[in-house]
Amino acid sequence: MTDFDATRAMFHLPEGVIYLDGNSLGPLPRGAEARVAKAMRDEWGEMLITAWNKAGWMEQPRRVGDRIARLIGAEPGSVVMGDTLSIKVFQALAAALALNPDRRVILSDTGNFPSDLYMAEGLVQMLGDGYELRTVAPEALEGAIDASVAVTLITEVDYATGRKHDMKRLTDAAHAAGAVTVWALAHSAGALPVDLAGCNVDFAAGCTYKFLNSGPGGPAFIYVAPRHAERARPALAGWLGHAAPFDFEPSYRPGAGVERMRVGTPPVLQLVALEAALDVWEDVTVDDLRARSLELSERFIAGVEAACPDLALASPRDGAARGSQVSFRHPEGYAIMQALIARGVIGDFRAPDILRFGITPLYIGTAEIDTAVRILGEIMAGGLWDRPEYRTRAAVT
Ligand SMILES: *Cc1c(COP(=O)(O)O)cnc(C)c1O
């Protein structure tokens, strides 16, 4: 059994704060502070540019990718780190389209994260030639997979509601129709069991600053199924994805396998922070994490529904259809969330009316859930959110 008291002790959690926003930005793993400081001093400070060889900076995106692979059911050597999720979605989409050259449609759903859709829009505009992005309601996705679809672009867990798509089922449906699949794992990696190889997924990408706790600006990862890795065209052909970066050839030749998805210089210090953050997972099984997440989520839903009749559950009630977050709707959601944050319970708000709470068993337990429920209940019962200062929108909500 995973020891969640042990994992909690590995995080710095500010005094007096209940953090229910690890689905947006994970907290600081204690180990990361020391590791980054050491890398700055011993590697950057002392080794200077020789650290690219001596400290293994050049291989770091693949080394870390292999550690992520373990958490998402990916084959060793199929994952590489770099850039942001938006960029990796672009690369995966472009590569997937090129594998299905007779078709023109990218199929996604209206619940997808806007940046993924914007990336697809930009790509189809750039390609011209009849390419289009088609979006349907999340429930209509499976029925919309037909012989015109080149690529499905699906985020497994809806960022707003936590609704979870069935990866195996939709991947099978896409393949049956001759489509290539791209999955976004932003709210999946580190949140629930993912089995990319078992589901026969073609491409996937995810970020690490949410449930994997790499810190603000932590790099994304991209997965390319080994069967495509030697054919996939990365679209963004950068020198570190070249077969021989230090030959400085005038023309691009793709690197071996997933290495070709690298673009430019990796964010070494962020990757060091991520390596330390991944140490937390050494003795964690994702199945234990999932069981604990469901237990805490049910407790939170039951508590909030009992204490706050005005809040409407926006997440699926069935745990199997939900990621590792719980969302509620209220027309004054923004002000309510500000009032909660003022009382030390940090969640976030997603327009137009969603209060979002990340359930992260690595450092959240029943005591935090119960206190959060109590405080939310007090705020709702007393109308304590109804103050002008709680209605003023900040740039980041
Ligand atoms: C959080 C999130 C992103 C963020 O992309 P970045 O480029 O890392 O800022 C993209 N897609 C999805 C599905 C997300 O949930």
Nearest ligand 1 atom to the CA of 88 is 7
CA distance 251 to 233: 14
pLDDT digits (tens, 9 = 90+) for 42-91: 999 999 999 999 999 999 999 999 999 999 999 999 999 999 999 999 99
The backbone torsions φ and ψ at residue 160, rounded to the nearest 5 degrees and listed phi first, read: -90, -50
Report the separation in Å between the CA atom of 37 and the middle of ligand 1, taken as the mean of its atom positions: 27
The predicted pLDDT at position 394 comes to 87
Report the separation in Å between the CA atom of 153 and the middle of ligand 1, taken as the mean of its atom positions: 13
* Domain residue extents for the chain: 4-30+285-391, 58-282
Average pLDDT over residues 327-331: 98
Whether 145 shows a pLDDT value over 90: the answer reads yes
The closest of 205, 232, 209 to 221, measured between CA atoms, is 205
Would you put residue 292 in left (φ > 0), alpha (ψ -120 to 50) or beta?
A: alpha
Which residues fall within 8 angstroms of residue 304, CB to CB, at 6 or more apart? Answer: 311, 326, 328, 373, 376, 377
Average pLDDT over residues 326-332: 98
**CA dihedral sign of residues 190, 191, 192, 194:** negative
Average pLDDT over residues 239-255: 97
Contact criterion met (CB below 8 Å) for 389 and 337: no
The closest of 290, 284, 370 to 5, measured between CA atoms, is 284
Nearest ligand 1 atom to the CA of 187 is 15
Whether 85 is in the pocket of ligand 1, judged by its Cβ within 6 Å, is yes
The predicted pLDDT at position 393 comes to 87
The closest of 300, 277, 280 to 289, measured between CA atoms, is 280
Report the separation in Å between the CA atom of 84 and the middle of ligand 1, taken as the mean of its atom positions: 8
Report the separation in Å between the CA atom of 372 and the middle of ligand 1, taken as the mean of its atom positions: 27
The predicted pLDDT at position 397 comes to 86
CA distance 205 to 200: 15
Residue range 4-30+285-391 in CATH 1.10.540.10: no
Structural fold of domain 58-282: Aspartate Aminotransferase; domain 2 (3.40.640)
Q: How many CB atoms lie within 10 A of CB 257?
A: 17
Of the pLDDT bands very low, low, confident and very high (cuts 50, 70, 90), residue 203 is: very high
Whether 100 is in the pocket of ligand 1, judged by its Cβ within 6 Å, is no
The mean pLDDT of the chain is: 98
Of the pLDDT bands very low, low, confident and very high (cuts 50, 70, 90), residue 361 is: very high
Which residue of 91, 109, 112, 113 sits with most ligand 1 atoms within 8 Å of its CB, as the best mutation to test the pocket? 113
Q: What angle do CA 155, 158, 160 make, to 5 degrees?
A: 145
Strand bridging mode 203-206 / 180-184: parallel
Whether 187 is in the pocket of ligand 1, judged by its Cβ within 6 Å, is yes
Which residues fall within 8 angstroms of residue 288, CB to CB, at 6 or more apart? Answer: 1, 2
The predicted pLDDT at position 55 comes to 98
CA distance 264 to 253: 15
Cα–Cα distance list, 34 to 9, 39, 42 (Å): 15, 9, 12
Q: Do domains 4-30+285-391 and 58-282 have the same CATH topology?
A: no
Q: Count how many residues are written for the chain.
A: 397
Nearest ligand 1 atom to the CA of 155 is 13
Contact criterion met (CB below 8 Å) for 319 and 294: yes
Whether 86 is in the pocket of ligand 1, judged by its Cβ within 6 Å, is yes
pTM of full prediction above 0.75: yes
pLDDT digits (tens, 9 = 90+) for 257-309: 999 999 999 999 999 999 999 999 999 999 999 999 999 999 999 999 999 99
Whether 159 is in the pocket of ligand 1, judged by its Cβ within 6 Å, is yes
Average pLDDT over residues 347-375: 97
The predicted pLDDT at position 331 comes to 97
Contact criterion met (CB below 8 Å) for 338 and 312: no
Average pLDDT over residues 329-335: 97
Which residue of 25, 85, 93 sits with most ligand 1 atoms within 8 Å of its CB, as the best mutation to test the pocket? 85
Report the separation in Å between the CA atom of 119 and the middle of ligand 1, taken as the mean of its atom positions: 11
Tokens of 149: 């679809």
Whether 221 is in the pocket of ligand 1, judged by its Cβ within 6 Å, is no
Locate tokens 């809806």: which residue? Answer: 158
Which residue of 86, 187, 208 sits with most ligand 1 atoms within 8 Å of its CB, as the best mutation to test the pocket? 86
Q: Give Rg (Cα) of the chain.
A: 22
Whether 205 is in the pocket of ligand 1, judged by its Cβ within 6 Å, is no
The closest of 372, 376, 337 to 354, measured between CA atoms, is 337
Cis bond before residue 193 (omega within 30° of 0): no
Which runs of E-coded beta strand occur in the chain?
Answer: 11-12, 18-19, 28-29, 79-81, 105-109, 132-136, 149-155, 180-184, 203-206, 221-224, 312-313, 325-329, 345-346, 348-350, 354-358
Whether 115 is in the pocket of ligand 1, judged by its Cβ within 6 Å, is yes
CA distance 273 to 32: 5
